[in-house]
Chains A and B, each alone.
Chain A
Amino acid sequence: MSEILVVENITKIFASAKRSLTVLNDISFSITEGSSISIVGPSGSGKTTLLGLCAGLDVATHGTISLNGIKLNVLDEDDRAYTRNQYIGFIFQNFQLLPTLTAIENVTVPLELRGEKNYLNKGKDLLSRVGLGDRISHYPSQLSGGEQQRVAIARAFITDPKILFADEPTGNLDEETASYVEDLIFDLNKQQGTTLVMVTHNLELASKTDRILKIKGGKLVEDQIVTPV
């Protein structure tokens, strides 16, 4: 299988006028297409920064990241945005839905951005698959937290992304809803053959992925293959 994400010697330094802070220090790894991987570590260890860099939301100070063969660090912001739209899906801890759009509009907006025409049925289908077929015209403020996250999952999968980045996807949900959302992510991941990169504090959730990367103090301290129980 080919490698969808290759991270080579990346370092991220946040510099201010007074001092500079190295958040990530010389990290390298690669991810095979279709696999799932979780990034774990204590608060402030650099997990979210690593996820942001891998997804092209930010640029590394040193090192290279290539996603589906595209070197992210040489692209400008708009080209990176285009790459995200073409290959990447996102799920966030705080859902990040557009408050002025209905559920169906939130789900289909990435396809609209691509300029596709027949996206409505696909959107409705995905919303039905996440159990929200009857709430397609609701605004985010009219949905519960769990429902909002399901809309976000539908949005993440609508473009059939090559890779899905999830930042603490169940962090804001109660146990029952979290379990439902986890199953949904992994099921869709399998059905669509998407690569999954997930940041989490939850080791139980992390153990459901194929591989766990442990980050501490900005360094990759462990790369563990998970053996299915």
Chain B
Amino acid sequence: MEYKIKVVRNRFNLLTDSWVWKMAFRDARTNPGRLFLFVSSIIIGIAALVAINSFNINLQRSIDDQAKDLLGADFVLRGNKAFEPEILTTIDSIDAVKAREADMASMVMFMTSTPGARLVRVIAIDGDFPFYGELETLPDNASELMQTQPFAMMDKNLMGQYDVSGDDSIKVGNMTFKVAGEVSKIPGGGGIQSTFTPSVYIDMKYLDSTGLVQYGSRVDYKYYFKTRGDLETNEFIDRLKPIAKKYGHWMETVEGRKENLGEGFQNLYKFFNLLAFIALILGCIGVASSVHIYVKEKRDSVAILRCIGSSGWQAFNIYFIQAVFVGFIGSIIGVLLGLAIQYVLPALMQEFIPLELDLKIAWSAVLEGLFLGLVIAILFSIMPLLAVRFIPPLAVLRSGFEPIRNFSKSRILIIGLIVAFPLLFATYQSDSFTIGLSFFTGIVLAFLALSGLGSGLVWAVRKYFPSKLGFIWRQSLANLFRPNNQTLVLVVVIGLGAFLIATLNIVQSSLLNQVEFIGNGNQSNTILFDIQPPQREGVIKLTNDNDLEVNQLVPIITCRISEINGKNIGQIQRDTTDAIPNWAITREYRVTYRDSLHSAETLDSGKIQHISNDSIYVTISKGMHENLELEIGDTITFDVQGIPITTYLGGIRDVEWPKDPPNFIFVFPNGVLEQAPQIYVMTTRIDAQSVASNYQRELVALFSNVSLIDLSLVLSTINEFFDKVSFVIRFMALFSLLTGLVVLAGAVINSKFLRLKENVLLRTIGASGKQIVGMTILEYIYLGLFAGITGISLSLISGWMLAKYLFEVVFLPDYLGLIYILIALIALTTFVGWFNTRGIIKKSPLEVLRNET
């Protein structure tokens, strides 16, 4: 007999094989909902990406368009001390329109129906600033009033806070001003800045009369210039720059402001990029997870198709076409949703952005979203779909029959691409391989940690299974370990959402509790500064008269560094071998003297400040010695009001800055600076608000130049800021949680029919409907609990690291808040689980058995 050993058959590819397209449609039409669920993951991921990228593009464009308006001038000369004659002569020689500004922190008393006093930024202006951008005031002529008469303007929120109206007056230093109106917009001010440092504006000619500028006052000086073009700008900057550098002043240009703003927003971009990255990765997991389960369900159908003659690639193509098509639809919906969210983001962010955001559709972000949606749909569905090729036709006869071969070159290639995708995407998104790699490493570590912790938890429950529990408790717990479970994926994905939200909560509470922590016990919560020597006794008396204790009275001397190890400032500036920043050697230092360590200090190395053999040994705060490249034994010469004092570095102090202020970079020993011109800082503790208000009013009335910081006000300011920031972060973290819940809903729906059979079997052998409902709900409670514990445990570690290393504060998490997060997560998971299972719980066994037959 003669045999054929080769079969000649038509080979179709995806595009020419009309049958696979027809089958893809037929297969999808009966249950499009299941495919839509898979695509929800893409929708959320792409929506987050498009919203964020489009917002970033619009923000960048707005910065480019409005940088000059934000600076208010062509360039600015800035300094934190009065400009020297040499500089003033150069400024005079510059033929440009100029304006001057001096600003400082000071107490202002509001003489309103409910009088009050608070620390504000007093800004004295001379000239027609701003030259560019808008100065928005109410009434419109407020600025003119301020320039011509003793009128003051103030930030809008300050007006609201003290219920100030146009008929009221305020006392700034020794002078009383009528209120000209409110400022809602001014270059370099407004927005979030006015939350932290609300400003009061006066004309420069009244500054001296206020008596605010005294010895030791910290005043920032600015000169604004308006030129006739870029050439002039560059020429003037070239003339001023060397002299400015010599005296430790600096210049700010439109380009520089653009860069600064760009840098300022870099962290925001990075954070948003990270969120977009996480949302997209979660979307990828969602796609892979739901396609994996989808393929499992299609196993029987594929086996039949293989049996009647379909090739492995034909079977694969049927589902591949579905994935691509639905992925594309998902990308379109995601892009539309992302564009819609983009219009919500500015409303959330407006407080932090000193610009008018001009929102337009960023087509590059749209195209990017469509492209990435397709890439994700293809890349992350191919992996589980490749299994279709290896479903054996024999499975029609024996359902449990497993393929001998399930690995191929194409699978290895896809694995490589899947691993490379997050790295490539992060690199592309951040425009830097280093940042991309760190995102990638970070996410890998986070996933590893989450999956490690999640599987550890699952393992521990299995190992120490509570076998004495009732049937429902045991059965629902065991459901998490049975074959084809999605427990780990869900724990990781939902856990990641919990991790982000809980980390934020911990950081916020650590920072907030810090201030409360400081304000507790006998620690001071009120700081008075700029007390002149003649005012010292008077302030002490006023404090005692109000039944308050003087906790600290610290002398402060202002000085500058003139030499380090024999090299003067000019030499250090010119020396290219060291990396000492200019600000560190030209800044004004406020130092004190004492022979002991303060409660917020510990000695890191060396000895505390002392005098030995007529040599003066000072100490420096840890960290600053690195900036100044100082080691113990080095010499530092200080210029104390024109008198050079040579000292040696005797020790390095570790300072807990927020604790019991004031704290200092340099501390001298007793016996050196006592005769130098000095001012005092006093601290006290005030518990009752009424005492505080009264004390502040009397203080401003008697000692107008003395300023007071109320830590409870700082606390409420931080709180207000965090409320705004955390809302934005939570809004974005919601994406990750939402993706987790979509993956959960997908897993629940996809395993619905398996559940149906099991529930029917249990009901057939006597389980009540109540028991079935109980088991289902308990299973999701366990799942939420596992995910929550995993995410929150990790957030405690990350929160601790952020508190210790980034914010340098004591780790003080709000455990009750974390418990609330856990409960909310469990409730949400249980609801999503129950919502998607409720249909099968209600079905009667007979109905199911009939369908099965």
Contact = CB atoms under 8 A, between A and B. Distances in A.
Interface of A: 3, 6, 48, 51-52, 57-58, 66, 69-71, 74-75, 77-79, 81-86, 90, 92, 96-101, 105, 109-110, 112-115, 139, 141, 145, 155, 167
Interface in B1-56: 1-7, 9-10, 19, 22-23, 26-31
B312 interface: yes
B697 interface: no
Contacts of B396: 57, 90, 92, 96
B311 interface: yes
21 contacts: A6-B1, A48-B398, A69-B3, A71-B3, A74-B5, A77-B306, A77-B393, A78-B311, A79-B6, A85-B310, A90-B307, A92-B397, A96-B300, A96-B396, A98-B305, A100-B31, A101-B26, A112-B19, A112-B22, A113-B309, A155-B308
B3 A84 contact: no
A36 B425 CA distance: 62
Contacts of A96: 300, 303-304, 307, 396
Interface string B378-391: 00000000000000
A85 B242 CA distance: 88
Nearest to A158: B308
Closest 10 CB pairs of A and B: A85-B309, A78-B311, A82-B9, A57-B394, A79-B7, A100-B30, A100-B27, A57-B393, A71-B3, A70-B4
B301 interface: yes
Contact of B306 (A52, A79, A81, A110): A81
A107 B392 CA distance: 21
Given A52-B394, A57-B396, A115-B10, A85 B308 contact: yes
A59 to B, nearest CB: 9
Interface string B391-413: 01110111000000000000000
Contact of A100 (B1, B3, B26): B26
Contact of B309 (A74, A82, A97): A82
Nearest to B399: A94
B113 interface: no
Contacts of A105: 26
Given A57-B392, A81-B393, A100-B301, A66 B311 contact: no
Interface string B832-853: 0000000000000000000101
Name, among A6, A83, A97, A99, the residue most crowded by chain B CB atoms within 10 Å (CB to CB): A99
Contacts of B394: 52, 57-58
Given A83-B7, A97-B304, A113-B308, 15 more contacts: A57-B393, A58-B394, A70-B5, A71-B4, A77-B306, A79-B7, A84-B308, A90-B308, A92-B396, A96-B300, A96-B303, A100-B28, A114-B309, A115-B10, A167-B397
B509 to A, nearest CB: 53
A51 B19 CA distance: 28
B30 A52 contact: no
Contacts of A145: 853
Name, among B1, B28, B314, the residue most crowded by chain A CB atoms within 10 Å (CB to CB): B1
A101 B10 CA distance: 24
Contacts of B392: 57-58
Contacts of B306: 77, 81
A84 B7 contact: no
A81 B301 contact: no
Nearest to A66: B3
A110 to B, nearest CB: 5
Contact of B7 (A51, A75, A110, A155): A75
A48 B27 CA distance: 29
A81 B22 CA distance: 19
Given A81-B309, A100-B30, A115-B10, A69 B300 contact: no
Contacts of B303: 96
A98 B301 contact: yes
A155 B2 CA distance: 31
Contacts of B313: 78
A121 B398 CA distance: 33
A97 B396 CA distance: 10
Name, among B5, B304, B309, the residue most crowded by chain A CB atoms within 10 Å (CB to CB): B309
A155 B304 CA distance: 12
B1 to A, nearest CB: 7
B847 to A, nearest CB: 12
Interface in B664-691: none
Contact of B851 (A77, A141, A155): A141
Nearest to B4: A70
Contacts of A100: 26-31, 301
Interface in B273-330: 300-301, 303-314
Nearest to A114: B309
Contacts of B2: 69
Contact of A70 (B7, B22, B23, B307): B7
A139 to B, nearest CB: 7
A97 B301 CA distance: 8
Given A74-B5, A100-B30, A110 B309 contact: yes
Contact of B397 (A6, A48, A81): A48
B325 to A, nearest CB: 16
A99 B3 contact: no
B741 to A, nearest CB: 28
Contacts of B851: 141
B31 A69 contact: no
Contacts of B19: 112-113, 115
A167 B398 CA distance: 11
Contacts of B6: 79
Name, among A84, A85, A92, A96, the residue most crowded by chain B CB atoms within 10 Å (CB to CB): A96
A113 B7 contact: no
Contact of A84 (B23, B28, B309, B312): B309
A113 B397 contact: no
A98 B300 CA distance: 8
Given A6-B1, A57-B396, A109 B7 contact: no
A110 B308 contact: yes
A91 B311 CA distance: 20
B311 A82 contact: yes
A82 B29 CA distance: 27
A109 B20 CA distance: 11
A51 B398 CA distance: 12
Contacts of A70: 3-5, 7
A167 B399 CA distance: 14
Nearest to A93: B397
Nearest to B300: A96
Contacts of B1: 3, 6, 66, 69
Contacts of A82: 7, 9, 309, 311
B301 A69 contact: no
